[in-house]
Homo-oligomer: A and B are copies of this chain.
């Protein structure tokens, strides 16, 4: 009884294979008595449709590709990012009866365009989810677009054509974080910018600016430093900021790694967090709750985003278009131990 085929079922149920196919695919126009006969035959034979045959006949692969920046390319891989991404995508795929194919790749690689083209032509996924920061790399996006495969991007920084995407409102929530810091009494709130390649860096910075204004604070170039998203760059930036005569009482970094760097430097300089300095990050990576003091940050609903992205791409596959092609998933600030009231005296 290795594997029953559709014709075995048809024979047992006394109908044609087409009718079995109709039942299996939940197509209409099958008398309920017939449906029952077929269903019991399916149960009796433990029949499972053969995916390969189905794919061949229907010209679909039933595969969704999830493409993301390879975390193992880095010294200290931020694997939580990928896991969350996979989790959401897997949940959606399971629900919709698709298979998920993962494809980590390195965007520094010069041949990444060709690599992706090859991959897509060989595997022929029905749809593709492209995660940040790859969703920001034009040659990556273009290579995928050129294959004609439905594509949904996650957190693409810049807008690009009418390509469907799923993102968070970095601007609004960064402003919220800034206002939160201001509400704690901080007047000198510094900002560490991130690597221009990653995420919606610009939006975070603009949110910071807006938050200052909304809190009646003046923007000062003195309080803004560049970083590149690494812990090390956070340390460098912190050293610069904290060695000023009138140092900031709060530092808001565009990602958690840089915020962790800030905390490390403050510790070395003997500056107490949060008593003398409040530190806030962005992304809520696992590290955020592992360091001491635990980091106040902005959560990044990655799983929710990838789940929505999969739903969107499936909608595109099935209907040929996407109703909401610019989904915004809400994010919020997560208050932990690294932020507190501004110190009394400066």
Q: Which residues of A contact B (CB under 8 A)?
A: 46, 48, 50-53, 55-56, 61, 70-72, 76-77, 79-80, 82-84, 86-87, 90, 99-102, 104, 121-124, 264, 286-287, 289-292, 303
Contact = CB atoms under 8 A, between A and B. Distances in A.
B84 A72 contact: yes
A47 to B, nearest CB: 10
A62 B79 CA distance: 27
A76 B71 CA distance: 18
Given A48-B121, A76-B290, A90-B104, 10 more contacts: A51-B123, A52-B53, A52-B56, A52-B61, A72-B83, A77-B80, A79-B79, A87-B104, A287-B290, A290-B291
Most chain B CB within a 10 A radius of its CB, from A46, A87, A121, A303: A87
A53 B289 CA distance: 49
A55 B71 CA distance: 32
Contacts of A83: 71-72, 77, 79, 82-83
Contact of A122 (B48, B102, B104, B286): B48
B51 A53 contact: no
Contacts of A82: 79, 83
18 contacts: A48-B122, A50-B56, A51-B55, A51-B61, A53-B56, A70-B87, A72-B83, A72-B303, A76-B286, A77-B80, A77-B286, A79-B80, A79-B82, A82-B83, A86-B102, A99-B101, A102-B102, A264-B292
Nearest to A70: B87
A84 B79 CA distance: 9
Contacts of A87: 70, 72, 104
A291 B72 CA distance: 19
Contact of A55 (B52, B72, B100): B52
Contacts of A286: 76-77, 79
Nearest to A303: B72
Contacts of A52: 52-53, 55-56, 61
A76 B122 contact: no
A100 B123 CA distance: 12
Contacts of A287: 290
A295 to B, nearest CB: 13
A74 to B, nearest CB: 10
Contacts of A56: 50, 52-53, 56
Nearest to A49: B122
Kindly list the 8 A-B residue pairs having the minimum CB-CB distance in the complex, ordered from nearest.
A52-B55, A79-B83, A52-B56, A79-B79, A72-B87, A79-B80, A48-B121, A53-B56
A76 B79 CA distance: 12
